């Protein structure tokens, strides 16, 4: 206290001032001191008094401390003292353990000061700004103060931080601090910040929180780490739980794959520390958050697929079958595996193939069921196994068939224990919890599966030696009638209701036993205690199912007779009231909330989640079916029959329309096919007509060329055919000869034109350019001559000017002699006249030179254009020469071809002569052709006769 008195300015002599007075003086010192050292000492004194005099310091000094944070930003020491003081005001001393009432008062006091501090949102913004200060004495108390504010008034502080620019990002920087104390307290701060605020959770996640937290977990040793790992896992749970956006971001970022190393448990599982158990428990909860049944089905399915592909499910199954694992970790692992496989066909198939490391190996399902029906196992473990079995059978028709198959006589193996045997053993054991669990598990094997409900009717049980076996259905009703415990009755009734619902064959089997209906009506009509009311409701439900799904195949128990029985022995209103007991029960509401069976004690295990759905579906339908009269049912049946007839008629018409549509489509296809065939045939006919016309033309040409009558033509054709030559070949050769001759004449004409063009270019094109060049040369010579004359005139003018100057100087020296003065004056006048004449002539010459230069430029331009024209003409000339060469080459080739053709024609003529034909010259043939043209009409008549 001496230090405080020194700061206040007094020594502890005489009567000492009270704490309130001291704090008031310190506050005045903080407010009025101009020296930084004085203010710093006063704030340090307030810090030391803030724990003992929390109320006084908070009431009087808070505003002064906030002002210190605003004004003395440059001094980190005074900032640290002020932040520590504010922290002590807002948060009570954690080292002490006050009583309950005192703790409540402390909390209320902290909430009041927190509310006063955050009344000005700028104070939170100021605090966020101070957190950017790297100095340890400022940053660490700032983190602690903000954490305390969040603990006291979480929603209000979250709202201020959310609207503050870069507020969340500044807090995320704490995770990157190299000082572990600040980093760890930053984790605690983010835990408080992310509680229940989805918007802040999204911002933190997109600030790369997942990556940083997973890195810290690995750095700290994963599941073997300390309290820091626990804090990271708690923050991850805050970010992911009930936040589909962050869950999707976590999955898309491939962070599920990074969770697999967490669950690598070795062979030696002895000596688990409490921290390791806590860490692994939180890790399993994190996996369950990603595959929780409350998530959307699509998101859950994608996470389940990712967990199987990365091997996380396999790692969890390894822990499940390992030895030495603590009971609570084993229980949570079973629950986690349950939700990873729930509704996923691939994961369910894998789980069915897992074997326990025993000798001989047993399926994991069998090992788990052994724990479920074992009354010595912990209650929570048995509940977890039941949940795992339910998840394995959820939407898994294949797994349901495999479980039911183990109960059928044809598949029972006496040397091994099967799942069916364990379920039957638990169903009829002395432990009521085993009865309930086995009944619920067997009911899940029949859920929404009509085939397995019918298959289970085949199961026969040997009750005792010397007695015939009874069916499983009959044995369940026998146990019911023996007065078992309430839990056993509820389990068996849930099994029977699930079994016979929507299965008329099972209803018939149940009603076939004469004792079942009297037992149910007796249970419903009796006035039993509070515990038995639930059994009465379930009996009413079972009897209602027998009415609703009755196919009237048994004469004694038709729908109408069962309703009359209810009306006589129970009463319809009483029946409906007893049926309503189910949904009004508290345990029913609790079971309907979520699929996992979560009960505090075994006595509370009464309802299954899937069964609550069945009750909700059937209650209304059964009530209507019981309350309806026979006349209403008849009317409804008539309406149903009418509707069925109407539906059958509509169905017939629909089938007729479908048949007609199919016929129309077939006919359309046939029309399309016939149309295409018709087009093909038309094309073929057209081609044939064209070929016939070509043959006629060829025949006419041969007839005109040879000029023979039909008999000679036929003889010639026969002779030519005998010698290997057809008339068509002769006509083709002659046509080729005529075409070659025409081409030869055309090429010769082109060659003549090109030669004439080349000749004209040689005589006209190039000399024009040479003439222009000569003209320009002459102009250049004239210009040079004029320049020379101009230079001589200029030299003469210069000489005359010099002489004039000399005369002027002489006139000045001889001015006293009158005669000489006159002589000099005459000479000067003469020289000036000569000078003026020479100057005029010089100007004239300059004008001529200018004119000539302009003419020169014009001629040079003409020369350039002529030169370019000459170059173009020269290029065209060379191109034409090349074309002439090519034409000559083509002409030579044609001449060679003509020579070959002439040779062929001569040889053909020779062959015709050898064949006895008369060969005429071309001139005679031309005249003959002209003569034949006059006789076209006669030829056409002969042609028609030949065609006939």
- Secondary structure in 3-state letters for 322-340: CCCCCHHHHHHHHHHHHHH
Query: Are 579 and 537 spatial neighbours (Cβ–Cβ below 8 Å)?
Result: yes
CA distance 629 to 564: 10
Given a cut of 80, whether residue 10 has pLDDT beyond it is: no
State the DSSP code for 17. P
What average pLDDT does the segment 585-604 reach? 88
Predicted pLDDT at 920: 58
CA distance 577 to 537: 8
Predicted pLDDT at 223: 86
More confident residue, 130 or 888: 130
Task: Please report which confidence band the pLDDT of residue 559 belongs to, taking 50, 70 and 90 as the band edges.
Answer: confident
Assigned token pair, 735: 């046509």
CA distance 236 to 215: 13
More confident residue, 12 or 341: 341
**In 3D, which of 707, 710, 722, 731 has the Cα closest to residue 917?**
707
Assigned token pair, 389: 């079995």
Contacts of 545 (CB under 8 A, 6+ apart): 497, 500, 501, 507, 618, 622
Query: Are 804 and 835 spatial neighbours (Cβ–Cβ below 8 Å)?
Result: yes
Predicted pLDDT at 730: 53
CA distance 274 to 227: 11
How many C-beta atoms lie closer than 10 Å to residue 748's C-beta? 13
Angstrom CA distances, 646 to 641, 643, 653, stand at 8, 5, 11
Predicted pLDDT at 653: 83
What average pLDDT does the segment 471-476 reach? 91
Handedness of CA 10, 14, 17, 18 (dihedral sign): positive
Predicted pLDDT at 336: 95
Given a cut of 90, whether residue 611 has pLDDT beyond it is: yes
CA atoms within 13 A on the CB side of 324: 9
**In 3D, which of 243, 380, 247 has the Cα closest to residue 301?**
247
Helix, strand, coil shares, percent, the chain, to 5: 80, 0, 20
CA distance 934 to 770: 65
Helix (H) or strand (E) run with residue 461 in it: strand 460-461
Helix (H) or strand (E) run with residue 440 in it: helix 432-446
Mean of the per-residue pLDDT values of the chain: 80
Q: Find where tokens 């409490």 sit.
A: 274
Angstrom CA distances, 5 to 22, 28, 53, 298, 721, stand at 8, 14, 16, 70, 148
Q: What is the pLDDT of residues 727-755, one digit of tens each?
A: 565 566 556 656 666 766 676 666 566 55
Contacts of 426 (CB under 8 A, 6+ apart): 369, 372, 373, 434, 435, 437, 438
Q: E strands of 158-227, at which residues?
A: none
Q: What is the pLDDT of residues 287-333, one digit of tens each?
A: 999 999 999 999 999 999 999 999 999 999 999 888 888 889 999 99
Task: Please report which confidence band the pLDDT of residue 597 belongs to, taking 50, 70 and 90 as the band edges.
Answer: confident
In degrees, to the nearest 5, what angle opens at C-alpha 592 toward C-alphas 627 and 243?
140
pTM of the predicted protein model: 0.65
Q: What is the pLDDT of residues 33-69, one digit of tens each?
A: 888 888 888 888 888 888 888 888 888 888 888 888 8
Angstrom CA distances, 314 to 283, 331, 556, 641, 890, stand at 16, 17, 56, 56, 86
Query: Are 439 and 492 spatial neighbours (Cβ–Cβ below 8 Å)?
Result: yes
More confident residue, 7 or 836: 836
Provide the percentage of residues in the chain whose pLDDT is more than 90. Answer: 31
695 phi/psi in degrees, rounded to 5: -65, -40
Q: Find where tokens 């010192």 sit.
A: 29
More confident residue, 707 or 512: 512
| Partners of 886 in beta bridges | none
| Torsion on CA atoms 571, 574, 579, 585, rounded to nearest 10 | -170
CA distance 629 to 640: 16
Q: Can you say how many angstroms the Cα of residue 598 is from the centroid of all Cα atoms in its chain?
A: 37
CA distance 711 to 715: 6
CA atoms within 13 A on the CB side of 634: 4
725 phi/psi in degrees, rounded to 5: -125, 130
Give the least confident one: 166-175, 263-272, 463-472, 685-694: 263-272
Task: Please report which confidence band the pLDDT of residue 217 belongs to, taking 50, 70 and 90 as the band edges.
Answer: very high
Query: Are 874 and 776 spatial neighbours (Cβ–Cβ below 8 Å)?
Result: no
What average pLDDT does the segment 234-256 reach? 93
What average pLDDT does the segment 465-476 reach? 84
Q: Find where tokens 């030579």 sit.
A: 892
Assigned token pair, 292: 């929780």
Handedness of CA 544, 547, 550, 554 (dihedral sign): positive
More confident residue, 689 or 723: 689
Helix (H) or strand (E) run with residue 470 in it: strand 470-471
470 phi/psi in degrees, rounded to 5: -120, 160
Strand 470-471, strand 355-356: pairing:
unpaired
CA distance 809 to 812: 5
CA distance 282 to 280: 5
More confident residue, 830 or 9: 830
Q: What is the pLDDT of residues 360-418, one digit of tens each?
A: 788 999 999 999 999 999 999 999 999 999 999 999 999 999 999 998 877 666 567 88
More confident residue, 830 or 498: 498
What average pLDDT does the segment 567-589 reach? 89
What average pLDDT does the segment 511-516 reach? 90
Contacts of 660 (CB under 8 A, 6+ apart): none
**Helices (H), strands (E): how many in the chain?**
42, 4
CA distance 277 to 329: 7
| Partners of 362 in beta bridges | 356
Q: Find where tokens 């080729």 sit.
A: 736
CA distance 888 to 896: 12
Contacts of 906 (CB under 8 A, 6+ apart): none
CA distance 102 to 578: 52
Assigned token pair, 255: 């962070």
| Partners of 356 in beta bridges | 362
Query: Are 842 and 800 spatial neighbours (Cβ–Cβ below 8 Å)?
Result: no
State the DSSP code for 13. -
Given a cut of 70, whether residue 922 has pLDDT beyond it is: no
DSSP-assigned letters across all residues of 335-383: HHHHHHHTT-HHHHHHHHH-EES-SS-EEHHHHHHHHHT-TTS-HHHHH
Predicted pLDDT at 768: 44
Residue 426's Cβ-count burial label (10 Å; 0-12, 13-18, 19+) is buried
Q: What is the pLDDT of residues 99-118, one digit of tens each?
A: 555 556 666 787 888 888 88
Given a cut of 60, whether residue 724 has pLDDT beyond it is: no
What is the C-alpha radius of gyration for the chain, rounded to an integer number of angstroms? 60
In degrees, to the nearest 5, what angle opens at C-alpha 605 toward C-alphas 423 and 581?
115
Query: Are 42 and 35 spatial neighbours (Cβ–Cβ below 8 Å)?
Result: no
Given a cut of 70, whether residue 859 has pLDDT beyond it is: yes
What average pLDDT does the segment 194-223 reach? 91
What average pLDDT does the segment 919-946 reach? 47
Q: What is the pLDDT of residues 626-674, one digit of tens each?
A: 887 656 666 666 677 777 778 788 888 888 888 888 889 888 888 888 8
Mapped onto helix, strand or coil, the DSSP state of residue 905 is helix
């Amino acid at each position: 206290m001496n230090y405080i008195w020194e700061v206040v300015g007094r020594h502890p002599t005489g009567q000492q001032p009270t704490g309130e007075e001291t704090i008031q003086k310190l506050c005045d010192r903080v407010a009025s001191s101009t020296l930084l050292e004085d203010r710093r000492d006063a704030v340090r004194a307030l810090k030391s008094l803030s724990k003992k005099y929390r109320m006084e310091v908070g009431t009087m000094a808070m505003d002064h401390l906030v002002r210190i944070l605003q004004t003395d930003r440059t001094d980190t020491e005074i900032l640290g003292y002020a932040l520590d003081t504010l922290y002590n005001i807002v948060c009570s001393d954690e080292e002490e353990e006050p009583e309950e009432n005192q703790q409540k008062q402390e909390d209320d006091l902290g909430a009041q000061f927190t509310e006063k501090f955050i009344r000005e949102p700028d104070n939170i913004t100021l605090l966020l700004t101070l957190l950017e200060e790297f100095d340890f004495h400022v940053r660490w108390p700032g983190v602690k103060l903000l954490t305390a504010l969040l603990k006291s008034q979480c929603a209000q502080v979250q709202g201020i931080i959310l609207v503050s620019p870069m507020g969340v990002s500044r807090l995320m920087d704490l995770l990157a601090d190299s000082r572990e104390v600040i980093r760890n307290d930053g984790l605690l701060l983010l835990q408080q910040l992310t509680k229940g605020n989805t918007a802040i959770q999204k911002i933190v996640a997109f600030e790369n929180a997942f990556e940083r937290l997973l890195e810290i977990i690995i750095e700290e040793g994963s599941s073997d780490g300390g309290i820091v790992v626990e804090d990271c896992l708690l923050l991850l749970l805050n970010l992911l739980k009930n936040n589909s956006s962050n869950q999707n971001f976590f999955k898309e970022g491939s962070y599920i794959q990074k969770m697999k190393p967490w669950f690598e448990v070795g062979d030696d599982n002895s000596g688990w520390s409490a921290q390791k158990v806590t860490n692994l428990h939180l890790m399993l909860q994190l996996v369950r958050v990603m595959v929780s049944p409350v998530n959307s089905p699509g998101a859950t399915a994608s996470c389940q697929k990712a967990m199987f592909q990365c091997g996380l499910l396999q790692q969890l199954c390894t822990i499940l079958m390992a030895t030495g694992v603590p009971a609570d970790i084993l229980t949570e692992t079973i629950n986690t595996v349950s939700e990873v496989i729930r509704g996923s066909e691939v994961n369910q198939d894998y789980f069915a193939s897992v074997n326990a490391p025993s000798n001989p190996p047993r399926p994991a399902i069998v090992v788990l069921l052994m724990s479920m029906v074992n009354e010595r196992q912990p209650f929570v473990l048995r509940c977890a196994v039941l949940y795992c079995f339910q998840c394995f059978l959820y939407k898994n028709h294949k797994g349901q068939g495999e479980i039911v198959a183990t109960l059928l006589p044809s598949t029972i193996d006496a040397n091994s224990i099967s799942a069916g045997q364990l379920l039957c053993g638990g169903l009829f054991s002395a432990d009521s919890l085993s009865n309930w669990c086995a009944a619920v598990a067997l009911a899940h094997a029949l859920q929404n599966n009509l085939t397995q409900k019918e298959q289970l009717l085949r199961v026969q049980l040997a009750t005792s030696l010397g007695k015939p076996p009874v069916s499983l259905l009959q044995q369940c009703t026998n146990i019911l009638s023996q007065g078992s415990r309430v839990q056993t009755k509820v389990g068996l009734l849930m099994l029977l209701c699930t079994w016979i619902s929507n299965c008329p064959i099972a209803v018939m089997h149940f009603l076939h036993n004469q004792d079942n209906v009297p037992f149910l009506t007796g249970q419903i009509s009796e006035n039993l205690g509070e515990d038995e009311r639930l059994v009465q409701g379930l009996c009413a439900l079972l009897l209602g199912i027998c009415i609703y799904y009755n196919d009237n195949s048994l004469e004694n128990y038709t729908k109408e007779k069962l309703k009359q029985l209810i009306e006589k022995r129970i009463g319809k209103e009483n029946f409906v009231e007893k049926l309503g007991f189910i949904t009004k029960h508290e345990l029913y509401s609790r079971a309907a909330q979520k699929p996992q069976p979560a009960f505090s004690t075994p006595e509370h295990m009464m309802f299954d989640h899937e069964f609550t759905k069945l009750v909700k579906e059937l209650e209304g339908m059964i009530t209507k079916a019981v309350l309806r009269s026979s006349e209403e049912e008849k009317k409804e049946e008539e309406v149903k029959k009418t509707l069925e007839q109407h539906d059958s008629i509509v169905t017939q018409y629909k089938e007729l329309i479908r048949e007609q549509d199919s016929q129309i489509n077939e006919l359309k296809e046939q029309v399309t096919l016939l149309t295409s065939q018709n087009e093909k045939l038309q094309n073929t006919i057209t081609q044939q007509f064209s070929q016939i016309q070509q043959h006629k033309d060829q025949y006419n040409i041969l007839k005109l060329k040879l000029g023979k009558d039909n008999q000679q033509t036929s003889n010639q054709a026969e002779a030519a055919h005998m010698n290997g030559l057809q008339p068509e070949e002769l006509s083709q050769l002659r046509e080729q000869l005529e075409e070659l001759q025409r081409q030869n004449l055309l090429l010769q004409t082109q060659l003549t034109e090109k030669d004439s063009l080349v000749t004209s270019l040689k005589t006209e094109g190039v000399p024009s350019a040479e003439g222009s060049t000569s003209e320009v040369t002459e102009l250049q010579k004239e210009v040079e001559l004029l320049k020379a004359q101009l230079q001589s005139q200029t030299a003469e003018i210069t000489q005359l000017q010099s002489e004039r100057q000399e005369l002027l100087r002489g006139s000045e020296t001889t001015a006293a002699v009158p005669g000489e003065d006159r002589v000099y004056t005459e000479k000067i006048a003469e020289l000036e006249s000569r000078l003026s004449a020479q100057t005029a002539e010089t100007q004239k010459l300059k004008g001529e030179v200018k004119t000539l230069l302009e003419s020169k430029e014009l001629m040079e331009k003409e020369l350039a254009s002529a030169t370019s024209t000459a170059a173009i003409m020269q290029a065209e000339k060379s191109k034409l020469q090349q074309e002439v060469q090519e034409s000559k080459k083509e002409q030579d080739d044609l001449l060679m071809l003509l020579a070959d053709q002439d040779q062929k024609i001569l040889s053909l003529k020779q062959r015709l002569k050898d064949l006895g034909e008369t060969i005429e010259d071309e001139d005679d043939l031309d005249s003959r052709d002209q003569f034949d043209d006059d006789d076209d009409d006669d030829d056409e008549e002969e042609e028609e006769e030949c065609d006939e």
